[in-house]
Structure 1
């Protein structure tokens, strides 16, 4: 897989043009200098890489109990990124992203870098931002993320690009709602950004989607 460029920040975007709640046109000099600051990439992303299977997933404690809760996921191979020619097609993808839980630094940049990667390495891809946390997945509340939409949030704090929430997806009805939305959008993947509780949400969704 080819390395994503660090030059997409603000590419083709006119500062001040935004359909979001943030307007770069009112930023001060320091704020504007942050918008186009290039983000450091992990070394594996700076050159071509491929994805290979790693050790089978397990648990630090109570593996038998966890295996019963996640029969489809438990024991699946982990994914490892290693230098080498890509084993992925690079075809256009439809990816959803959602913020979950309380605020934490850098989460806008996680979304920005996912967007940049898709635009450079999987041209023609679409990134959907589910609004208001996991409830946005269940209710089908989303926005199609574009360069103009994302630009005012680059290197900036907060969660207000798509907002977060602490809702749980845990009942059969809620799982069905989330599945219907994912199927209607024909999603290839869903990225849940958050902490330990959000990781539980992601695991439950993955288990039920399988």
Structure 2
């Protein structure tokens, strides 16, 4: 297939690497430093991970490392939502393996964690990898959301790895995936399987970071893309001068995306879920704050603006959290009576009449459709 000059340039691009990783691979040696630990709940974490807790921090320095040339096979898994950068993680892993020993083999397990459970894989070769370099998506081997969390699953993983003589498994994913990777590593060490597990942080939410990980791929691309679109909308709003745009951004459990986009685009209003929770703001209070901002701009002759809202905001409003929790318990307790009602209005009235006064006050100000949605598919 003929490819354009732009595609040729994309495939040829070499991502920037830290200086130490640009050296010959046999001159890069691991240096073991201080013991690692948990930032909070150290005793509880240590109890959960007795074999891996406190392992040494590893950095890389110049030094002779001929041992790296020993032949080995490695497996890689893409887990969770796709993010530009995943293909290049696999590309970098492949390049390093081949630089260490051309006989090394990289197994890509298809469709996420389920791939290793089903022993479904693609052997990554230079020819197979070439059209995926520097491209977005996770389509090279596919992704999935299967969780590795039972001992039966862990033992299957070990058997598949040993079948293919795989001595290390790289899991590219978010917080759930890396938690599963940590549990899998603990199991492998406990059972003395001799298989390393490496977690590579990938998340759109930006909630996998520390002093060593400034930003995860996924978050970087999402915020840049969103900010470009928000900037275009802001320009449009300033041109038309008659519209307010309310933009919902991803981020159910954290508002990092909304905050980063706000820093990049300077909207008129940006709601931060964590601040709403910390300040114990009510739904009415949030609406009033927005209304006052809209009114103040109108008095200046600016009947337009942009508001950024993280998708998980409602879960951080204390009174809404209390309402949802109360509804959950109510529907679990009176499931038979509730399920006997077929009319949605009757269901709303049934729940409303049994709520506490504070929750009832919140429930009744919600639009009818929102009330009905809160009663759908509740957790027990």
Instruction: Provide TM-score, normalisation by structure 2.
Output: 0.47
Quote the offset at 1:173 in angstroms. 1.6
| Alignment partner, residue 79 of structure 1 | 58
Q: 2:101 aligns with which of 82, 103, 122?
A: 122
- Give the SS at the match of 2:67: coil
Check if 1:151 corresponds to 2:130.
Answer: yes
Name the CA distance, whole Å, in 1 between partners of 2:114 and 2:76: 13
Q: Unaligned 5+ residue runs, structure 1?
A: 1-24
Aligned to 2:41: 62
TM (norm. structure 1) is 0.84
Q: CA deviation at 1:85?
A: 2.2
Say which of 98, 102, 111 aligns to 2:81: 102
Q: Shift of residue 87 of structure 1?
A: 5.8
Higher RCO (Cα < 8 Å, 6 or more apart): 1
How far, CA to CA, are the matches of 1:89 and 1:116 in structure 2?
14
SS where residue 69 of structure 2 aligns? coil
Residue deviations 1:148-168, cap 9 Å, x none?
Answer: 110000001110000111110
1:38 to 5, 14, 21: 14
| Deviation by residue 1:92-145 (Cα, 9 ceiling, x = unmatched) | 110001111111121101101111111112221000001111111111111111
Q: Give the one of 135, 157, 173 matched to 2:152.
A: 173
Per-residue deviation, 1:189: 0.4
The equivalent residue for 1:195 is 174
* Separation in structure 2 between the aligned mates of residue 156 and residue 93 of structure 1, nearest angstrom: 27
Sort the Cα spacing of 1:122 and 1:116 in 2 relative to 1 into closer, same or farther, 3 A.
same
Partner of 2:199: none
C-alpha distance 62-87 of structure 1, shift in aligned 2 (>3 A): farther
> Number of residues paired by the alignment?
186
1:8-23 → structure 2 map (5 Å cutoff): none
Q: Which moved more, 1:182-191 or 1:84-93?
A: 84-93
> Once the 2 structures are TM-superposed, how far is the Cα of residue 182 of structure 1 from its aligned partner?
1.1
What residue in structure 1 maps to residue 72 of structure 2?
Answer: 93
**Equivalent residues of 2:77, 2:109 under 8 A apart:** yes
Which stretch shifts more, 116-125 or 58-67? 116-125
- Kept after mapping to 1: 8 A contact 2:87/2:138: yes
Contact 1:109–1:154 (CA<8 Å) still a contact in 2? yes
Residue in structure 2 matched with residue 13 of structure 1 by the alignment: none
Unpaired runs of at least 5, structure 2: 190-380
Larger Rg belongs to? 2
Asked if the contact 1:94–1:186 (Cα under 8 Å) also holds between the matched residues in 2, the reply is yes
Q: Give the superposition deviation at 1:197.
A: 1.6
Pairwise CA distance, 1:27: 3.5
- Please, which moves more after superposition, 132-141 or 26-35? 26-35
Q: Distance in 1 between matches of 2:150 and 2:64?
A: 42
Deviation at 1:26, TM superposition (A): 4.8
Contact 2:68–2:100 (Cα < 8 Å) also in 1: no
